[in-house]
Amino acid sequence: MNLQALSIKALKHYGEVVLNDSSMSNNLQDDIIITNNISYSELFKFPCRLDAISLLVCVKGGIKGTVNLKQYELGCNGVFLALPKDILCLDSMTDVEAYAIVISTSFLREINIDLQKLMPLYLNIRWNSTATITDNELKILENYYTLALNAIHSNNINMRDIIKGLLTALVYEIISYVNQYYSTAGDPNKRLHRNDYIFDEFMILLNEHHIKERSVKFYANKMCITPRHLSLIIKKVSGETAAQWIDAYVILESKNLLKFSNMSIQQVAYHLNFATQSSFGKYFKQQTGLSPKQFINSSNIT
Protein backbone atom coordinates (compact mmCIF):
# COMPACT_ATOMS: atom_id res chain seq x y z
CA MET A 1 0.00 0.00 0.00
CA ASN A 2 1.41 3.39 -1.00
CA LEU A 3 1.20 6.70 0.76
CA GLN A 4 -2.44 7.68 1.00
CA ALA A 5 -3.64 9.90 -1.84
CA LEU A 6 -5.89 12.71 -0.69
CA SER A 7 -9.13 13.08 -2.62
CA ILE A 8 -10.38 16.43 -3.86
CA LYS A 9 -13.35 16.14 -1.50
CA ALA A 10 -11.00 15.67 1.45
CA LEU A 11 -8.81 18.58 0.34
CA LYS A 12 -11.87 20.84 0.20
CA HIS A 13 -12.84 19.66 3.67
CA TYR A 14 -9.43 20.65 5.02
CA GLY A 15 -9.86 24.02 3.29
CA GLU A 16 -13.14 24.61 5.08
CA VAL A 17 -11.68 23.55 8.45
CA VAL A 18 -8.31 25.29 8.22
CA LEU A 19 -9.17 28.35 6.15
CA ASN A 20 -12.83 28.71 7.12
CA ASP A 21 -13.60 28.83 3.40
CA SER A 22 -16.74 27.18 2.12
CA SER A 23 -16.56 28.82 -1.33
CA MET A 24 -15.13 25.64 -2.87
CA SER A 25 -18.43 23.77 -2.61
CA ASN A 26 -20.10 23.20 -5.97
CA ASN A 27 -21.88 20.57 -8.01
CA LEU A 28 -18.59 18.87 -8.80
CA GLN A 29 -17.66 18.51 -5.14
CA ASP A 30 -15.57 15.37 -5.55
CA ASP A 31 -14.08 16.07 -8.95
CA ILE A 32 -12.54 19.50 -9.42
CA ILE A 33 -11.01 22.53 -7.74
CA ILE A 34 -10.73 25.82 -9.61
CA THR A 35 -9.34 28.64 -7.49
CA ASN A 36 -7.06 31.65 -7.26
CA ASN A 37 -7.19 31.58 -3.45
CA ILE A 38 -3.50 31.57 -2.57
CA SER A 39 -4.28 30.84 1.07
CA TYR A 40 -4.88 27.23 -0.02
CA SER A 41 -1.11 26.91 -0.20
CA GLU A 42 -1.27 26.46 3.59
CA LEU A 43 -2.69 22.99 2.97
CA PHE A 44 0.52 21.98 1.19
CA LYS A 45 3.07 23.10 3.75
CA PHE A 46 3.18 19.43 4.74
CA PRO A 47 3.82 16.71 2.11
CA CYS A 48 0.61 15.75 0.36
CA ARG A 49 -0.22 13.26 -2.37
CA LEU A 50 -3.37 13.96 -4.39
CA ASP A 51 -5.48 11.54 -6.35
CA ALA A 52 -5.66 14.14 -9.10
CA ILE A 53 -3.81 15.94 -11.85
CA SER A 54 -2.83 19.43 -10.71
CA LEU A 55 -2.15 22.53 -12.80
CA LEU A 56 -0.72 25.66 -11.16
CA VAL A 57 -0.12 28.79 -13.23
CA CYS A 58 1.95 31.61 -11.75
CA VAL A 59 0.96 35.03 -13.08
CA LYS A 60 3.14 37.06 -10.74
CA GLY A 61 5.69 36.50 -7.97
CA GLY A 62 7.56 33.34 -7.07
CA ILE A 63 6.83 29.89 -5.67
CA LYS A 64 9.25 27.33 -4.24
CA GLY A 65 8.43 23.74 -3.41
CA THR A 66 9.16 20.08 -4.01
CA VAL A 67 7.66 17.30 -6.09
CA ASN A 68 8.70 13.81 -5.02
CA LEU A 69 11.54 15.43 -3.04
CA LYS A 70 12.86 17.32 -6.08
CA GLN A 71 13.01 21.09 -5.64
CA TYR A 72 11.43 23.48 -8.09
CA GLU A 73 10.93 27.23 -8.50
CA LEU A 74 8.11 28.88 -10.38
CA GLY A 75 8.17 32.49 -11.54
CA CYS A 76 6.06 34.77 -13.72
CA ASN A 77 4.46 32.83 -16.62
CA GLY A 78 5.50 29.62 -14.91
CA VAL A 79 3.38 26.49 -15.22
CA PHE A 80 3.54 23.59 -12.81
CA LEU A 81 2.02 20.21 -13.63
CA ALA A 82 1.77 17.32 -11.18
CA LEU A 83 0.49 13.89 -12.09
CA PRO A 84 -1.73 11.74 -9.85
CA LYS A 85 0.15 10.26 -6.87
CA ASP A 86 2.99 12.82 -7.01
CA ILE A 87 3.99 14.00 -3.52
CA LEU A 88 3.72 17.79 -3.31
CA CYS A 89 4.99 20.30 -0.78
CA LEU A 90 5.03 24.11 -1.01
CA ASP A 91 7.94 25.75 0.80
CA SER A 92 7.34 29.45 0.14
CA MET A 93 5.33 31.94 -1.92
CA THR A 94 6.43 35.56 -2.52
CA ASP A 95 4.04 38.27 -3.83
CA VAL A 96 2.15 35.58 -5.72
CA GLU A 97 -0.77 35.87 -8.07
CA ALA A 98 -1.66 32.43 -9.38
CA TYR A 99 -4.51 30.08 -10.08
CA ALA A 100 -4.93 26.35 -9.88
CA ILE A 101 -7.05 23.72 -11.55
CA VAL A 102 -7.11 20.29 -9.90
CA ILE A 103 -8.96 17.42 -11.61
CA SER A 104 -9.65 14.05 -10.02
CA THR A 105 -8.44 10.96 -11.84
CA SER A 106 -11.99 9.60 -11.97
CA PHE A 107 -13.31 12.76 -13.64
CA LEU A 108 -10.36 12.78 -16.02
CA ARG A 109 -11.42 9.31 -17.16
CA GLU A 110 -15.02 10.47 -17.42
CA ILE A 111 -14.07 13.21 -19.89
CA ASN A 112 -12.44 10.58 -22.08
CA ILE A 113 -8.84 11.52 -21.50
CA ASP A 114 -6.93 8.35 -20.83
CA LEU A 115 -4.06 8.91 -18.44
CA GLN A 116 -1.95 6.69 -20.69
CA LYS A 117 -1.96 9.52 -23.22
CA LEU A 118 0.03 11.54 -20.72
CA MET A 119 2.68 8.85 -20.39
CA PRO A 120 4.89 10.07 -23.27
CA LEU A 121 5.32 13.23 -21.19
CA TYR A 122 6.00 11.32 -18.00
CA LEU A 123 9.79 11.30 -18.21
CA ASN A 124 9.93 15.01 -18.99
CA ILE A 125 7.55 15.88 -16.17
CA ARG A 126 9.38 13.56 -13.77
CA TRP A 127 12.65 15.34 -14.45
CA ASN A 128 11.09 18.81 -14.36
CA SER A 129 7.49 19.55 -13.37
CA THR A 130 7.71 23.18 -14.46
CA ALA A 131 7.82 25.10 -17.71
CA THR A 132 7.72 28.76 -18.74
CA ILE A 133 5.15 29.80 -21.32
CA THR A 134 4.73 32.91 -23.48
CA ASP A 135 2.42 35.81 -22.67
CA ASN A 136 0.04 34.66 -25.40
CA GLU A 137 -0.06 31.10 -24.04
CA LEU A 138 -0.63 32.49 -20.54
CA LYS A 139 -3.61 34.49 -21.83
CA ILE A 140 -5.09 31.37 -23.44
CA LEU A 141 -4.83 29.45 -20.17
CA GLU A 142 -6.41 32.35 -18.29
CA ASN A 143 -9.33 32.22 -20.72
CA TYR A 144 -9.85 28.51 -19.98
CA TYR A 145 -9.66 29.26 -16.27
CA THR A 146 -12.27 32.03 -16.47
CA LEU A 147 -14.65 29.97 -18.61
CA ALA A 148 -14.35 26.95 -16.33
CA LEU A 149 -14.81 29.07 -13.19
CA ASN A 150 -17.92 30.72 -14.60
CA ALA A 151 -19.35 27.39 -15.71
CA ILE A 152 -18.81 25.62 -12.41
CA HIS A 153 -20.66 28.32 -10.48
CA SER A 154 -23.51 28.59 -12.96
CA ASN A 155 -26.95 27.03 -12.74
CA ASN A 156 -26.76 25.76 -16.29
CA ILE A 157 -28.32 22.29 -16.54
CA ASN A 158 -25.53 21.35 -18.96
CA MET A 159 -22.81 22.56 -16.60
CA ARG A 160 -21.16 19.15 -16.20
CA ASP A 161 -20.91 18.62 -19.96
CA ILE A 162 -19.59 22.17 -20.44
CA ILE A 163 -16.86 21.52 -17.86
CA LYS A 164 -15.97 18.24 -19.56
CA GLY A 165 -15.51 19.99 -22.90
CA LEU A 166 -13.44 22.80 -21.43
CA LEU A 167 -11.18 20.46 -19.49
CA THR A 168 -10.67 18.17 -22.48
CA ALA A 169 -9.44 21.14 -24.50
CA LEU A 170 -7.37 22.43 -21.59
CA VAL A 171 -5.55 19.13 -21.05
CA TYR A 172 -4.59 18.88 -24.71
CA GLU A 173 -3.50 22.52 -24.65
CA ILE A 174 -1.20 21.75 -21.71
CA ILE A 175 0.18 18.67 -23.47
CA SER A 176 0.99 20.85 -26.47
CA TYR A 177 2.75 23.46 -24.32
CA VAL A 178 4.83 20.90 -22.46
CA ASN A 179 5.83 19.14 -25.68
CA GLN A 180 6.80 22.47 -27.22
CA TYR A 181 8.76 23.51 -24.14
CA TYR A 182 10.86 20.36 -24.05
CA SER A 183 11.29 20.37 -27.82
CA THR A 184 12.75 23.88 -27.55
CA ALA A 185 14.82 23.07 -24.47
CA GLY A 186 16.14 19.87 -26.00
CA ASP A 187 15.60 16.25 -25.07
CA PRO A 188 16.81 15.82 -21.46
CA ASN A 189 17.63 12.17 -22.15
CA LYS A 190 20.43 13.22 -24.48
CA ARG A 191 22.11 15.14 -21.67
CA LEU A 192 21.99 12.35 -19.14
CA HIS A 193 25.04 10.27 -18.23
CA ARG A 194 25.06 6.68 -16.99
CA ASN A 195 25.15 7.87 -13.39
CA ASP A 196 21.96 9.84 -13.97
CA TYR A 197 20.18 6.72 -15.17
CA ILE A 198 21.39 4.81 -12.11
CA PHE A 199 20.08 7.61 -9.89
CA ASP A 200 16.75 7.56 -11.73
CA GLU A 201 16.46 3.77 -11.36
CA PHE A 202 17.25 4.08 -7.66
CA MET A 203 14.50 6.71 -7.22
CA ILE A 204 11.96 4.51 -9.03
CA LEU A 205 12.83 1.56 -6.79
CA LEU A 206 12.77 3.78 -3.72
CA ASN A 207 9.31 5.07 -4.56
CA GLU A 208 8.12 1.49 -4.94
CA HIS A 209 9.76 -0.17 -1.93
CA HIS A 210 10.48 2.45 0.74
CA ILE A 211 7.47 1.44 2.84
CA LYS A 212 9.09 -1.91 3.65
CA GLU A 213 12.77 -1.55 2.81
CA ARG A 214 15.20 0.93 4.38
CA SER A 215 18.60 -0.65 3.71
CA VAL A 216 20.97 0.52 0.97
CA LYS A 217 21.90 -3.13 0.42
CA PHE A 218 18.35 -4.00 -0.69
CA TYR A 219 18.37 -1.36 -3.44
CA ALA A 220 21.93 -2.16 -4.51
CA ASN A 221 21.02 -5.84 -4.88
CA LYS A 222 18.01 -4.88 -6.99
CA MET A 223 20.33 -2.91 -9.27
CA CYS A 224 23.08 -5.56 -9.31
CA ILE A 225 25.76 -3.23 -7.93
CA THR A 226 27.49 -3.02 -4.56
CA PRO A 227 26.05 -0.82 -1.80
CA ARG A 228 29.26 1.23 -1.75
CA HIS A 229 29.15 1.84 -5.50
CA LEU A 230 25.48 2.82 -5.32
CA SER A 231 26.13 5.22 -2.47
CA LEU A 232 29.04 6.86 -4.31
CA ILE A 233 26.96 7.40 -7.46
CA ILE A 234 23.90 8.73 -5.63
CA LYS A 235 26.11 11.12 -3.65
CA LYS A 236 27.86 12.30 -6.82
CA VAL A 237 24.63 12.93 -8.74
CA SER A 238 22.46 14.41 -5.99
CA GLY A 239 24.73 15.58 -3.21
CA GLU A 240 22.91 13.26 -0.79
CA THR A 241 23.75 9.68 0.08
CA ALA A 242 21.49 6.75 -0.75
CA ALA A 243 20.75 6.33 2.97
CA GLN A 244 19.72 9.99 3.22
CA TRP A 245 17.32 9.60 0.28
CA ILE A 246 15.81 6.50 1.90
CA ASP A 247 15.31 8.34 5.18
CA ALA A 248 13.81 11.33 3.34
CA TYR A 249 11.23 9.14 1.58
CA VAL A 250 10.27 7.32 4.77
CA ILE A 251 9.84 10.60 6.64
CA LEU A 252 7.85 12.05 3.73
CA GLU A 253 5.55 9.05 3.90
CA SER A 254 5.32 9.31 7.68
CA LYS A 255 4.40 12.99 7.66
CA ASN A 256 1.62 12.53 5.14
CA LEU A 257 0.12 9.58 6.96
CA LEU A 258 0.33 11.30 10.34
CA LYS A 259 -1.39 14.42 8.99
CA PHE A 260 -3.85 13.17 6.43
CA SER A 261 -4.80 9.58 7.25
CA ASN A 262 -6.93 8.15 10.02
CA MET A 263 -4.10 5.87 11.15
CA SER A 264 -2.88 5.96 14.73
CA ILE A 265 0.85 6.42 15.38
CA GLN A 266 1.09 2.70 16.07
CA GLN A 267 -0.65 1.86 12.78
CA VAL A 268 1.70 4.19 10.88
CA ALA A 269 4.67 2.50 12.55
CA TYR A 270 3.55 -0.99 11.53
CA HIS A 271 2.56 0.21 8.04
CA LEU A 272 6.13 1.44 7.56
CA ASN A 273 7.58 -1.85 8.78
CA PHE A 274 8.90 -0.71 12.15
CA ALA A 275 8.96 -3.41 14.81
CA THR A 276 7.37 -1.18 17.46
CA GLN A 277 5.79 2.23 17.86
CA SER A 278 8.73 3.17 20.07
CA SER A 279 11.33 2.39 17.39
CA PHE A 280 9.34 4.43 14.87
CA GLY A 281 9.09 7.31 17.32
CA LYS A 282 12.86 7.33 17.93
CA TYR A 283 13.55 7.19 14.18
CA PHE A 284 11.07 9.99 13.43
CA LYS A 285 12.43 12.27 16.17
CA GLN A 286 16.02 11.62 15.08
CA GLN A 287 15.14 12.72 11.54
CA THR A 288 12.79 15.63 12.29
CA GLY A 289 13.53 16.80 15.82
CA LEU A 290 9.90 16.14 16.78
CA SER A 291 8.08 13.13 18.12
CA PRO A 292 5.20 11.87 15.92
CA LYS A 293 2.70 13.32 18.42
CA GLN A 294 4.45 16.69 18.41
CA PHE A 295 4.40 16.69 14.62
CA ILE A 296 0.67 15.94 14.52
CA ASN A 297 0.06 18.90 16.84
CA SER A 298 2.47 21.23 15.00
CA SER A 299 -0.23 22.90 12.86
CA ASN A 300 -3.95 23.48 12.88
CA ILE A 301 -4.59 20.90 10.16
CA THR A 302 -6.72 18.28 11.89
* Digit-coded pLDDT (tens) for 50-66: 888 888 999 999 999 88
DSSP state for residue 226 in the 8-state scheme = -
C-alpha torsion 25→26→28→29, nearest 10? 20
pLDDT-derived band at 301 (thresholds 50, 70, 90) equals: very low
DSSP state for residue 83 in the 8-state scheme = -
For the cut 50, the answer to whether the pLDDT of residue 300 exceeds it is: no
pLDDT-derived band at 188 (thresholds 50, 70, 90) equals: very low
Please give the Cα distance from 214 to 297 (Å, whole number): 27
Q: Which of these, 301, 252, 283, 259, lies nearest to 89 by C-alpha position?
A: 252
Give all domains of the chain, ordered by start, each with its CATH number.
Answer: 8-187 (2.60.120.280), 194-296 (1.10.10.60)
pLDDT-derived band at 142 (thresholds 50, 70, 90) equals: very high
